[in-house]
Structure formats: C-alpha cells, structure tokens
Chain A
Amino acid sequence: MSSGTGQVRIALRNCGVIDPESIKDYIATDGYDALAKALFDMSPDEVVETVKKSGLRGRGGAGFPTGIKWETARRSESDIKYVLCNADEGDPGAFMDRSVLEGDPHCVLEAMAICGYAIGASQGIIYVRAEYPLAVKRLQIAIEQATDMGLLGDNILGSGFSFNVRLYFGAGAFVCGEETSLMNSVQGGRGEPRLKPPFPAVKGLWDKPTNINNVETYANVAQIIRNGWEWFRQFGTEKSPGTKVFALAGKVNNVGLVEVPMGTPLRVIIEDIGGGIRNNKKFKAAQTGGPSGGCIPAEHLDTPIEYESLISLGSMMGSGGMIVLDEDDCMVGISKFYLTFTAEESCGKCTPCRIGNVRLLEILDRITEGKGEEKDMDDLENLGNTIKDTALCGLGQSSPNPIISTLRYFSDEYKEHIYHKRCPAGSCSKLIGYKILPDKCTGCTVCARNCPVSCISGERKKVHVIDQERCIKCGVCFSKCRFKAIVRG
C-alpha cells in the first residue's frame, strides 16, 4: 500500500493523533502554550507582527495575508470587536475544515483567543455548518472544557484577558462562506453579500471591527506563535509560506486529506501521494478551488502549487478541494456541473450572477445536448468574463472560472461537441450511442439480459441489435460485454 511521502502536517498535526474530546490530550501536545506565550511573553503588537512576518495567508480561498487583516482589526478603534471563524465549508468535495474541527477543535479555539488578544476582542463566534453535527458536538465539548479550565472565559490563566467563544449554525447556503454574507447571516439577516469596502476588519459584525479567518488558517496560528515566524517560513515558498491541506478526490487511487508544503508540484500530490490514476486511465486534469476554481491540464502538472501559480493557470487555491479527472470525464460536463452548483447557490443579489450564470448554463446545456452553435464559445467567454468583471462578491466573480479555464485548455473538446456533435469522453448522454459490432458479437445474451430498458434483442448465439430509439445510453451493455463487441460513439 502506498505511502504519504512528502506530507508535512501543521494544520492537521493533531488530527488522527489526539482524542479530540480530551483537552488533556490537546494540552499534552503543547496545547494552549501558544496562547499562554502570547498572553505573558508578547504584546498584542508582537503577536500581530509575528503573524504578519510568518506570511500566513488565508486558507479559505483568496489568500489574503492574515497578519494584515489582524493589523487592520487591531488598528480599528472600537469598544467591541469580534473574532469570527468561518467554518462554513461549502465547496463540493471539500472537507479540510471539517477534519480539523472533528480532529482538533481546541487548536481553533486557541487561535481565536490569540487573535482576540492581538486585536483587542473578547468575543469569538464560530460560524459552523449545521450539516457538520460531529464537528459541532466536538466544538461544544471543547468550548466547555476550555472554559472549565480557565483557558477561555474571564481572566484566562490569570492574565486579565477574557475571551468567550460561541457557535452559530449556518443553514447551508454556499454564499455564506463569503465573509460579508456570513456576517449578515450571523446578524440574523439574509445570507447575501454586501459591498466592500468597508472591510470586516474596519466595519464587520454589527458594524464593529471583526477579524474573520477560516478554520485552516486559524489551525496554523498556535504553531506560528509557539515556534516563531521563522520556523513557519521554512515550509512553503517565499510568497506562500507554510502548508496547505487538500481534499484529494476523483479518479485518483488514494483519495483523502493531504497536507503538503506550498510549492509542492501537483504531480507529487496526484502521483506520489494520490497513487496515480485509478484503473490505469489517463490523467486529464486536476480541478482545484471548487466552483470558483479551474482545471489544470497535464502539461502543467509540474507547476509548484501556490496562490499565484494557480491563478496564472486560470484556477485558484480555493479552500483546497482537488478533484482529479481522467479521460472519461467530459470537460464541458465538468463546467456544467460546477456552474449548476453556483447558479443554484447564487444569492440572487446582483444581476450578473443571478441571470448571467443561468444564461451561461443554458449555453452549456445546449452544447452538451448537441445543439451547440458556432458562436457559443465566444458567448461563453464574453459573458463569463463580464460576470467575473462585474459580480458583487467572490462567488459571482469566480463562478465562470471552470468555463474559462476549460475553454482555455480544452477548447477542442468544446469544438467536438459543437461542430461534430460528439462527446470525446463519452460522457454526455445525449451525444453518445452504443453499437454492437456483428463480427465480434457471440450472441451470449449478457447485454440483453442486463439492459434496464430491454432494448437489446437477438437470439442466442446470433448477433444482437440495440434498438437506438429506446436506448437510454446508460452504458451497462458496454461495460458488461466480455468480447468488446459493443462500441460507444
């Protein structure tokens, strides 16, 4: 069985190691030492400075420097400030944050308390998906334990600093992962974004300065404080220090959660850690960044992964979803999958996202149904770029990315659909058909017996025929035939 070569665990250091429901375990792995160090050995400015120098960037998507956020929130004058944790992980296939919350909830609490000390806040709120009941339960236990032991609450460790954390449950809207939507939701409003600026660090929850980071970002903080920024910078690259957790999924042998130093080539993740493509199929692309990201083709497999390189490839880091696609995946279909998701999850506030995404989807629908027109690719690109250019929040500004990136790397596949009404991957059901080759058919009847709509006929030991009118193109016959007598095309 394969190994985890190349993995470095900072955010996941305790996941799979400690009992997440035991604060003793967490403390035994030097838990809450970073908080104590911050409270007793460092001034708030020093904490901010350390985070700044570490170069830690937001792990939720855009990669904004965490230290700058903290510094802005620290400088914003206000009687009340908030520390918010975005645990509204919503990308399809992503579960980095859930794993951290389920495996090491205290590390998030500790980081939030450190942040509270740094920016001058005494209230923390974790906005967590209600669909993560186990994460919620373990967080509740952790908050209770930490409060009981005086590691949260009033006068933490006798330092005079007080910090409380409470949970707020998200109702499952993807857009609530966007920070201003999330704050609207916490305030009891509709989950929809508002204009920025003002940024949350200046005017956030209830118009008070608010620092908001996601779970994985916080999961790095205690280690940075405890070990110093120089320590953190030994991992990763100059512009993207540290590690990144990816949820590796799709057609790879070893699906799972991996944490690698920034700058690790995609190939290492897919081939060494992921164990290569399943069933010896051919790698086609890696989809990173979820619905906001794009597809990276084979020719860029050796690109070191960091925020900038992914953007220049037309994708993005996103929260860390990585879905590996092989030769059987249709790139038009993949675009359609993600766009269907974003169109449904659009909050409907701004025109380009509300209407534009649906119009894009309609074009994709046509193409995958063999009704594509010559101008469709131009329309997709123009409309896609305008949506990116004009949408109100990150959701809309990135929703056309899957289309734009597949148009960039896989335009031939689009052309095949549009001009030849063919799906090269054989996945668009309206564009494929199955045929029985008479010279190869042995008349074994397996196909006919397995056809769910009984549209294959033929006598035993005689050539069988598919009734194309009734065929639903499910592909069962194709996979059941032992003589390669059925072809797709």
Chain B
Amino acid sequence: MSFLTIDNATKSYGSVEVLHRVDIDVQEGEFLVLVGPSGCGKSTLLNMIAGLEDITSGTISIKGKSMNGVHPSNRDIAMVFQSYALYPNMSVAKNITFGLEMHKVPKAERETALRDVAKLLQIEPLLDRKPGQLSGGQRQRVAMGRALVRNPDVFLFDEPLSNLDAKLRVDMRTEIKKLHQKLGTTIVYVTHDQIEAMTLSTRIAVMNGGYIQQLGTPKEIYDTPANLFVATFMGSPSMNLIPVKILEENGGLVAETTNGLGETIKLPFATPPAGLKDYVGRTITLGLRAEALTDPDGADSKAVNLVTVKSRVIVMEPAGSDTFVMTEFGGQDCNARMRADVQVAPGEDVDFTINMDKVVAFDPETEDRIV
C-alpha cells in the first residue's frame, strides 16, 4: 500500500475533461515532481490532492484513507503557493501559527512549534514583521515555515520558486532538497522548470494535455524518454531529433542520414531495441542528447559504441563549463556539447563523435519510443 495513491483520477469542467485517468502511487518519503508546460493539468492535480478542487471520478487516498469529499483542513496536508499567499494583515509569527490556532492547538505548543520552525528556517529575527516588509526569499521561507509547522503527512508545493530571481531560485532549490533529506517528508511538487524537476525529485511525472506522459526516476526520464514530447521537454538543450532511415547491413541495423556537408553517413547500432527490426527500410526519428554528440576527445571513455563522423560547424556558443556547437544532421539543427576549450570555428568541418549507446529511436507517427 502506498502512502499517497492517485487512482484513476479524472477532472472535468462541464463537458471538457482536463485530466484523464491519472494513476500515481507515491511512497512515504518520496519527492514526486509534476512537470509539464502550462495548461497540462499539473496544478489541477495538485489542487485535487489538496482538496481545493473536486475529483470528477476516481479516488485520491492518503495512508489508505480515501480523501474524496474530505475538507482540505482535514487531510493532514500543507501547501506552499506560488505567490506564497502570506496573510498580509498578520505578522510572520501569526502567519505561521494561524493553522495551528485554527486546529485548536494550545498556545504553549504553538509557541514551541513556532520557535522550532523559525530556527530550522533561520527566520527568527523576522517573526514580528508583516509580509509586506520581507524580501522575496524571506517570504518564501515564511511560506515554507507555515507548511512545516503543521507537520503534515504530505507537503504540496505549487511552483514555489518561480517568483524568485535566478540566483535565489538555485539557492532555495538546494535548501528544499536539504530540507527533504533532513525531514524525510513526502512531497508533491509542481513546476514547469525541467531542471528543478531533475534536481529535486526522486520521481518525475511528466504531464501534457491532461495525460501523464511518463512516470519515472530522473534518470529514466532523461535517458529513455517514453515519447517525443518527454524527449524534447526534458533536458536543456533539448534532445536532438534526426530523421534517419533504418537499413540492415551485415546482420546488424544501421541508421542512414546526411551530415552537414550533404554526404550520406551510416551510424551502426550496437544494441538496437528489439522493435527496431520492424522499421527496416522506413524513416524513424533518432534522439540524441547534446552530451552524446561531442568532440572525439570529449567522448565518454566508458562508452562501447562510438562513431565519429565529419560535419560542418554552424554556430559555436561557449557557455563557460562547456561549448555548445551547432551542426546539422539529416537537415536538422543539432546541438553538440563539447569541452570548454575545444578549438572550432563556424564554417569549419570537424569530427563529431556520437555515442550510439545513448541514442533512442522514436516512431515518427505515434511519436512513441521504439522498444
């Protein structure tokens, strides 16, 4: 029995179904991130877990108890909102203890809980201030304090970092991760930022159009995306997609395409997915992460099946830690992640090494990964 079970949950507004038969099991202590573009239904799902939106059909249960129709305050959950939603007329201390007061916790206990949380989040000097007098990062902490003080079964985060500036966002991300490691609480976290999803989660649910596209660990999502949507949505830069023709040669499968010079190149598969045999003679979409396309010296030394091909450099973007080189395969722009000090110039023809261990193949019609 899992800790938080979402079983066949559906949400409709009138005749429009916005969330279709969602099934997710969350174990105790897990950090589940719901990620997807805006309008994919991730916030709706979170609000359904919180009880702020009704469930049209299906059930959501916490600790084996069905939560359908249970008021938000009786679900033993706490939520951190995107806008923080701090009560503007109350002091920080009142903001944090308001929930305890509503649940009729005695005053002495409230004071102790407040002190503990304030210490944990290092907001002790702020307790008498009003939310209007706090900076963005401080408000964020207070919002988390308000959730933590309740010591709930499940924490819900609704894009909590999207109102912070870039640097603070990275700091707070680490802070949330630390907090999770320290407290071991169960967290459901909504974001549209795939980096947040990758770094924070123990599992990710990628959503689009009201469907769960893929549910898995960050590594599974990144290395073996279930379909083209997941492949392009997750990862930055997004996965290179090259149209290739599958041929059978010497008993093995090869992918035939063109390089940036217009020459035909052949990329042999070492361990092709079983289903790929059915695509011989047809064109498929080959997915290639930027770090699986690099300069020969920068290639993964543990990789078994490296193929080096020539192509033309279109654009070069030094990013400090890496240099991104854009070239062309099969008529598509492709990003290669090369070493920082690589010596290439636009217009030059250089060697690119492709790590064929890491390629994934997609059916261009169904857009699903070929397994």
* A, B assembled together: no
Taking beta carbons and an 8 Å cutoff, which residues of A are in contact with B? Answer: none
Taking beta carbons and an 8 Å cutoff, which residues of B are in contact with A? Answer: none
